[in-house]
Each structure stands twice: as structure tokens, then as C-alpha cells.
Amino acid sequence: MATALPPVPDRLKAVAPYVKIAAEHDARDPVIAYWCRLYALQNGMKVDRSSSDCRVFLMAYMDWLEKLFTTEAILFQITNHRKYARWKAAYIHRCLKNGEQPIPGPLKGDDEGFEEDAGDGVSLQPDDFHKAQKYCKYAGSALQYEDVPTAIDNLQKALRLLTTGSEGL
């Protein structure tokens, strides 16, 4: 991110070595450059933030760091989307190769409204949540011993308790 940053003012010469290291590492290692500039900004604010030349310097560095942080956040999101797209393409390719029908991913907005549907006006007490957690733990324990009927029974008890508010059959 090559932008013209102002020179270090005389009153902030204590941060000049960090600014110099950041400039040297801009091309080689942008992460080190970022952290050096952040350190220079933090120390510069401790030394002098009232004089006009120091404020210009500090504001320029703050703007630069904020822009870089925002850019990195966007790049991180793009990387995650790219990873998902590559995984999904490999999954579809594998399904087509094996003659299986690929399962489509969630549509945008499929998960919206889920929490609204969950509350049917049943008021649950903290004890009910505790019992439901116990049933889920029992189900997990039953699965460790490959006892599927007991696991299903305990999960149904937990669901019944959470949806109706009672344990009755």
C-alpha cells in the first residue's frame, strides 16, 4: 500500500527508527511494516499529540493503518469465500464422478427467520434447559456405546422438552 506518508517531525524523532524499519519492510514483509507503523503511532501519541506537525503526522499514519486494516478484512472475507467455492467445486466434481446427486448449499437468507420460528410461546425455565442438556449428554454417551435406540430416545426427550415445555409423552 504505497502512499506518501509525511516525514517524522522533530518532536517525534523517538519513533523514527520504527518508521524507517517499516519503510524497509514494505515490499518484503507488509505485516512487519504494519506493526512497526502501529507501534510508531502509539508511541508518537504518547510523546506529543498537540502540536500541528505531530498531529498531521499521526493522523496520516492513523488513516493509513485504518485503510490497511479495512483492506485486510475484505481480503480475509474474499479468501474465505474462495476456500468455500473451491471446496464446493471439488464436492460437486466428486459427486458427479461417483454418479451421485450433489446437495446444494444454503441459499442466501435460508438461515434468516430460524430463531423466530423456534419460539412458539413456550416459556422455559433454567431447569428445563438443564434437563435438555442432560438428555443430550445421555444421547452422546449412548452413541459412544453404539446404542442408537437410547440415543434417539434421549434426543426426542430433549426436543419434546424444548418444544412443549414438558417431559410428558
- Domain spans of the chain, in order of start: 10-98, 123-164
pLDDT tens-place string over residues 16-68: 999 999 989 988 988 898 899 999 999 999 988 888 888 898 999 999 899 98
Name the 3-class secondary structure at 128.
helix
- The residue that leads in pLDDT, 137 or 111, is 137
Q: How far is CA 53 from CA 21, 48, 56, 139, in A?
A: 21, 10, 5, 67
Number of H-type helices and E-type strands within the chain: 6, 0
Top CATH class, 10-98: mainly alpha
Q: Which CATH superfamily is domain 123-164 in?
A: Immunoglobulin FC, subunit C (1.20.5.420)
pLDDT at residue number 116? 44
Q: What percent of the chain has pLDDT over 90?
A: 36
Q: What is the pTM of this model?
A: 0.48
- Equal fold, 10-98 vs 123-164: no
How many C-beta neighbours within 10 Å does residue 105 have? 12
Residue 150 pLDDT exceeds 90? yes
Confidence of residue 117 (pLDDT cuts 50, 70, 90): very low
